[in-house]
Amino acid sequence: MSSGIRDFFDGLLSVLSTIKPIDIVDVLILAYVIYMLLKLIRETRAGQLLKGILLLVIGYWISRLIGLTAVTYILKQTLSIGVLAMIILFQPELRRALEKAGRTKFGIKLFGLGQGTDELKQKWEPAIEAICDSCVELSATCTGALIVVERQVRLGEQIETGTIMNAVPSKEVFGNIFYPKTPLHDGAVIMRDGIILAAACFLPKPQKDELINKKLGSRHRAAIGMSENSDAIVIVVSEETGQISVALNGVLTRDYTRDKLKKLLEDEIFNDKTEISIGSKKAFLFPL
């Protein structure tokens, strides 16, 4: 028995001696890719589709084993175009995954997509003050508002649905846009580089709309949907309660004061942070 154990360890050491550092790197990269794919599948509808594909594979194997020629042929042809079908079916998920990869600090530095802090402050400091002042004023009068701050992910598709403005942000401009009797109030304002680029824009629906608090209005749902599909900061003023909320990375937080909103915008825009520690309540759990 001791001889068998010795042979086992000798064989193990022999295998380990052939492993090179590049092999370890290779395995780690593969493990990371598999982990990210499993995470993507788990968080989206891809999980259910994958189950269906696995059933087709099992059906193909069984039909071939027992000699069902016609069924085997049909399943084989179906699976032969499976890769293309996966790309088409999972296009939104793949797009979000690639956009997320491009938004990482490595991707930004690699392709030079980021801007310097001084340049960002020059563009955004006056805009942040205008946003905060406007939200406080709109909140006091319970005037609904939806403001999208564009960052690395360009929002061209949403901008095309609205009216181009190229306006310098101010309380007066925001007030005129969101005044209930104006044609631009029923939509989102999208800001780029500290400028109001467009108004009355339509935003995408949330990925899991049925799971969101039913008492949330259309503006809050649109804010969640936009933040799920991009790295944008989306600010909402409730026309029912006047509460100021922010959607970021698919999560809506509420009860913002002017100071908290200003701090959040400065942290996210100037420091490229991805987490919020404001102490606000989650709107998923607490209705407005």
CA distances from 239 to 9, 48, 94, 252, 288 (A): 71, 38, 36, 16, 10
Helices (H), the chain: 2-17, 21-43, 46-66, 69-80, 82-89, 91-102, 105-111, 117-140, 156-159, 171-178, 218-228, 258-270
**What is the pLDDT, as a whole number, of residue 108?**
53
- Give the CA angle between residues 39, 264, 97 to the nearest 5°: 20
**Are the C-beta atoms of residues 128 and 262 closer than 8 Å to each other?**
yes
Task: Choose the CATH number for 117-270 among 3.40.640.10, 1.20.58.100, 3.40.1700.10, 3.40.50.450.
Answer: 3.40.1700.10
**What is the pLDDT, as a whole number, of residue 286?**
37
**What is the pLDDT, as a whole number, of residue 276?**
36
**What is the pLDDT, as a whole number, of residue 278?**
36
**What is the pLDDT, as a whole number, of residue 135?**
96
User: How many angstroms separate the CA atoms of 68 and 57, rounded?
Assistant: 14
3-class state of residue 236 by DSSP: strand
**What is the pLDDT, as a whole number, of residue 113?**
52
User: How many angstroms separate the CA atoms of 187 and 146, rounded?
Assistant: 7
**Are the C-beta atoms of residues 169 and 203 closer than 8 Å to each other?**
no
3-class state of residue 91 by DSSP: helix
The first and second tokens of residue 267, run together, are 């942290």
Q: 272 has which bridge partners?
A: none
**What is the pLDDT, as a whole number, of residue 217?**
84
User: How many angstroms separate the CA atoms of 186 and 179, rounded?
Assistant: 9
Q: Give CATH 3.40.1700.10 domain extents, the chain.
A: 117-270
**What is the pLDDT, as a whole number, of residue 109?**
53
Q: Would you give per-residue pLDDT tens digits along the chain (288 residues)?
A: 566 677 666 666 776 677 778 878 888 898 888 787 776 666 555 666 677 777 888 888 898 888 888 888 888 888 777 767 777 766 766 766 666 666 555 555 555 555 566 777 888 999 999 999 999 999 999 999 999 999 988 898 899 999 999 999 999 999 999 999 888 888 999 999 999 999 999 998 887 765 566 678 889 999 999 998 888 999 999 999 999 999 998 899 999 999 999 999 999 998 754 333 333 444 443 334
237: closest CA among 129, 161, 133, 128? 133
The first and second tokens of residue 88, run together, are 């088409």
pTM of the model: 0.64
**What is the pLDDT, as a whole number, of residue 55?**
83
**Amino acid at the residue 191:** M
**What is the pLDDT, as a whole number, of residue 270?**
86
**What is the pLDDT, as a whole number, of residue 129?**
96
Buried-exposed string 72-82: b where 16+ CB fall within 10 A, e elsewhere: beebeeeeeee
CA distances from 77 to 60, 71, 198 (A): 10, 10, 48
**What is the pLDDT, as a whole number, of residue 170?**
94
**Are the C-beta atoms of residues 174 and 127 closer than 8 Å to each other?**
no
User: How many angstroms separate the CA atoms of 226 and 154, rounded?
Assistant: 12
